[in-house]
Amino acid sequence: LGSGGPELTGQRVSSSYLISINNKAAILMDTGTGSSYNFARSGAKFEDLEVILFSHLHVDHSNDLPAFIKGSFFTLRAKPLKIYGPTGNALMPSTSTFIEQLFNHGGVFRYLSDYINKEENGDYKILATDVNSAFNTDNTAINNEAAIQTFKLNDNATISALPVHHGPIAALAWRVDIGKCSITYSGDMNNDYQTLAILAKNSDILIAHNAVPESALGVAANLHMRPSQIGAIAKKANVKKLLISHRMKRTEDNEQETLRFIREKYQGSVVFVNDLQKFNLEK
């Protein structure tokens, strides 16, 4: 739905990806600014959605959640809405705290409290789950396959996550497996934890965020992976298709250089994506 970053360019909606199963909305990954508008433009119906996955809670990944929840009042939604996202840290609230501070009594949108409180009458409830985003759990490193956290959505679909390093921000990468199809989403990250290639192993699609050019240094390189790292991860994970997103001024019009660095490692299909672009997976 959204292929941009947090900039005010008027060109792209912020991060958001919708996975539909048999043409019905099922899984929404991030709800960046403008995503609720493009969700509707895509023809998706909010009452069909099973789950929202948050990579992290920066504004350009989470901002439209209240718009979706308010908008849902005008839909036929009756089933619970599952939301999974990172545990918190010193800088960021956990996903469940984020939702409470938005919607609970005392929160900024307290007038929507019936969407989270069991004792209040509402059309449906939000069910939030915090997923470990810390590098060490009980002093166990998370950059191995055994550390992948997997949740069953239904008989045909699972969601899985590993922590990723996004500077000081609590952050996750997500993988969705539906039947024999698999999609992995990096969220925002540099590759300090070296987890993404483990999670993305043999994915049909890897959505990778390209927020900085190869020359990035300092804060930008602490937050985001360079094109050469994207290529190395795609190669190591043996993904079939690489979608480049989170496109910003500092990387747009620089695609030839970005592609050159990716191509040094990865020879598969690479697409620089735009808002509302669709990809079909059939197996």
Q: 96 or 186: whose CB is closer to Zn ion? A: 186
Inter-CA distances, 53 with 127, 213, 219, Å: 12, 27, 26
Q: 82 or 224: whose CB is closer to Zn ion? A: 224
In the complex, minimum distance from the CB of residue 15 to Zn ion, in angstroms, rounded to a whole number = 6
- x/- letters, 19..58, toward Zn ion (CB under 5 A): ----------------------------------------
Q: 177 or 188: whose CB is closer to Zn ion? A: 188
In the complex, minimum distance from the CB of residue 24 to Zn ion, in angstroms, rounded to a whole number = 27
In the complex, minimum distance from the CB of residue 181 to Zn ion, in angstroms, rounded to a whole number = 25
**Contact positions with Zn ion (CB under 5 A) in 157-196:** 188
Taking alpha carbons only, the member of 82, 96, 65 closest to residue 124 is 82
**Contact positions with Zn ion (CB under 5 A) in 55-74:** 60
- x/- letters, 79..108, toward Zn ion (CB under 5 A): ------------------------------
Q: 77 or 246: whose CB is closer to Zn ion? A: 246
In the complex, minimum distance from the CB of residue 9 to Zn ion, in angstroms, rounded to a whole number = 14
Sheet holding 81-86: strands in order across?
Answer: 17-21, 24-29, 51-53, 81-86, 126-131
In the complex, minimum distance from the CB of residue 220 to Zn ion, in angstroms, rounded to a whole number = 12
Number of residues binding to Zn ion, judged by CB under 5 A: 2
Q: 15 or 195: whose CB is closer to Zn ion? A: 15
**Contact positions with Zn ion (CB under 5 A) in 219-278:** none
In the complex, minimum distance from the CB of residue 212 to Zn ion, in angstroms, rounded to a whole number = 11
Q: 130 or 188: whose CB is closer to Zn ion? A: 188
Q: 32 or 93: whose CB is closer to Zn ion? A: 32
In the complex, minimum distance from the CB of residue 179 to Zn ion, in angstroms, rounded to a whole number = 30
Residues near Zn ion, by CB under 5 A: 60, 188
